[in-house]
């Protein structure tokens, strides 16, 4: 996997946008960037993934820089239920995911 670097923790006010950064400076041209989150004691939940272009789905938006060395996951209107550990992963094509420690997001009322 391309090595990814995320801040260990972040806070966000309820109703505001949560912007979670990830650095993946060693990513190669065919490696996607995936985001998962894990709410306490549950299995990781898929959020979004992308290769080059920005992506949006019902959960979040993913902004990937033009040089693909970093990305930002955006939760547009964070709720208390978005409190979780968020993982950014850039697996080598065909290989398994390597999880780092992730970012612990706390959404505050």
Interface with another protein by CB under 8 A: which residues? 30, 32, 34, 36, 41-46, 49, 85, 87, 91, 93-102
DSSP for the chain reads: -B--B--SEEEEETTS-EEEEEE-TT--TT--EEEEEE-TTS--EEEEEESSS-EE-SS-EEEE-TTSSEEEEEETT--GGG-EEEEEEBPPTTSPP-----EEEEEE-
Kindly tell me which of 14 and 61 has the beta carbon lying closer to another protein: 61
**Least CB distance from residue 99 to another protein, whole Å?**
3
Kindly tell me which of 14 and 38 has the beta carbon lying closer to another protein: 38
Kindly tell me which of 14 and 92 has the beta carbon lying closer to another protein: 92
**Least CB distance from residue 49 to another protein, whole Å?**
6
């Amino acid at each position: 996997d391309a090595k990814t670097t995320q801040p260990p923790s972040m806070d966000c006010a309820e109703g505001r946008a949560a912007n979670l950064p990830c650095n993946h400076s060693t990513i190669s041209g065919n490696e996607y960037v995936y985001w998962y989150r894990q709410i306490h004691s549950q299995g990781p939940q898929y959020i979004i993934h992308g290769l080059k272009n920005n992506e949006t789905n019902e959960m979040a938006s993913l902004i990937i820089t033009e040089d693909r060395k970093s990305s930002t996951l955006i939760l547009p209107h964070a709720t208390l239920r978005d409190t979780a550990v968020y993982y950014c992963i850039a697996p080598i094509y065909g290989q398994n995911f390597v999880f780092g420690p992730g970012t612990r997001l706390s959404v505050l009322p």
